Amino acid sequence: MKKTHLTQFACFGGTPSFAEELPVGQINLPPWDEFEAMFADIFQRGYYTNHGPLVAELETAVARTLGVRHAICITNGTVALAIAALTLRLAGEVIVPAFTFPGTVQALSWAGLKPVFADVDPTTHTLSATTVAARISPHSCAVLGVHLWGHPCDPVGLQALCDDHGLQLFYDAAHAFGCGHAGRPIGGLGRIEAFSFHATKIISGAEGGCLTTDDDEVASRARTIRNFHQAETFANVGLRINGKMSEAQAAMALLSLRHFDRHRGRNRRIFDVYRQRAATWPDIRLYDFPDGEAHNYQYAVLEISPAAALTRDELITLLHAENVLARRYFSPGVHRLSPYAEQPDPPALPVTEALCRNVMQIPLGPRVDAEAAHRICDLIELALAEGGSIAPRLRQASHTEARTG
């Protein structure tokens, strides 16, 4: 039943709109029979890891799908990023956004590099040549851009800036599998790109990741760093790690790839509902993608204007009570998280700070369908209409809870 009055919100005593929780994130599972068949093969071969046949097959499939010379499977996206940094033989400062998943930045620290935070563009939410230029110093050696929400992170502007200043450019493409730039798949931008195949991403190996590059030398270094073994054949490569992907992970990821178009199609149908409904919302922007470019529609991201009748956090409280597990993304920014928050001279990142206050994700994945998306929109519209009366009531409700709880 559609709620028409704020007293019907679950946080004010009404019944939750959804009987089950709707999380954000993809969480796509392959059909059981296909999974079983793949695992029966693994057991039969008795070959579980160390560059097995499924990893080889996945590397070939990813390289073909993304139109790159090399795909190198890695145990997860964060280790892939650290290995990417090591392949570039960097020393010094790497310019990176703070409006990202902590793994982007932590990977640099594990690779022995110093992250320097640059602000992001208010429209794209990514680094731009302008925001990066302001942070270049004599110690800068590289820029790590993030294709946030699958949006290409200013590839033309950043490449030109990096070429001018002799900096390396590489990318965190964790959100961007199946997304395009200038008619080509993301994967061949900068010197090397890192993907995540975590369970919440559209391609899932449960855990997993991948590096892609058109540079033969960088690819060969990545393969060497990923694997401790064969040490006698590779002297002088420096730090190495066990970054290998197992056959079990590759099986999951291959099935995910097999069903990619179907998952993307479903994402797109849900996204279209949000797009159509959000067009009439005065103080909420749905982060949108141009129709001319390939996209995975992995995330539905809302930006709540400070002029809106209720805040981002109030809207999240309201939706959670309805079992709609909307999430703050990313809040706080990585510059405000340990160990970076303890650094002297915190950088001024006004756009990042505003986005950390106002941005949230709403569910978009296998547990959501178009009908559920419409009902989520109904809740948001009611919340916007009743916004002025909601904040005082929420405060009252939390007081009552504190007294009785």
Query: Which residue, 229, 296, 220, 218, is CA-closest to 262?
Result: 296
Q: Which is nearer to ligand PLP, 198 or 264 (CB)?
A: 198
Select the span of 59-67, 172-180, 185-193, 221-229 touching ligand PLP (CB under 6 A).
172-180
174 binds ligand PLP (CB under 6 A): yes
Compute φ and ψ for 72, nearest 5 degrees.
-125, 110
Query: Which residue, 270, 273, 362, is CA-closest to 315?
Result: 362
Select the span of 62-70, 167-175, 255-263, 334-342 touching ligand PLP (CB under 6 A).
167-175
Between CA 79 and CA 63 the distance in angstroms is 19
**Contact code string over 185-224 relative to ligand PLP, x by CB under 6 A:** -----------x-x----------x---------------
Q: What is the number of the residue whose Cβ is closest to ligand PLP?
A: 77
172 binds ligand PLP (CB under 6 A): yes
Q: In whole angstroms, how close is the CB of 102 to ligand PLP at the nearest point?
A: 8
Sites for ligand PLP among residues 127-146 (CB under 6 A): 146
Select the span of 170-178, 317-325, 351-359, 396-404 touching ligand PLP (CB under 6 A).
170-178
Residue of 104, 128, 296, 352 that binds ligand PLP (CB under 6 A): 104
Q: In whole angstroms, how close is the CB of 75 to ligand PLP at the nearest point?
A: 9
Residue of 52, 103, 180, 333 that binds ligand PLP (CB under 6 A): 103
Q: In whole angstroms, how close is the CB of 101 to ligand PLP at the nearest point?
A: 4
Between CA 335 and CA 343 the distance in angstroms is 9
Residue of 18, 99, 101, 171 that binds ligand PLP (CB under 6 A): 101
180 binds ligand PLP (CB under 6 A): no
Q: Which is nearer to ligand PLP, 277 or 335 (CB)?
A: 335
Select the span of 55-63, 72-80, 179-187, 259-267 touching ligand PLP (CB under 6 A).
72-80
Q: In whole angstroms, how close is the CB of 111 to ligand PLP at the nearest point?
A: 14
77 binds ligand PLP (CB under 6 A): yes
256 binds ligand PLP (CB under 6 A): no
Select the span of 44-52, 62-70, 168-176, 367-375 touching ligand PLP (CB under 6 A).
168-176
175 binds ligand PLP (CB under 6 A): yes
Q: Which is nearer to ligand PLP, 126 or 168 (CB)?
A: 126
How far CA 105 is from CA of 80, 94, 100, 115, 227, in Å, comes to 12, 9, 8, 7, 23
Q: Which residues bind ligand PLP (CB under 6 A)?
A: 76-78, 100-101, 103-104, 146, 172, 174-175, 196, 198, 209
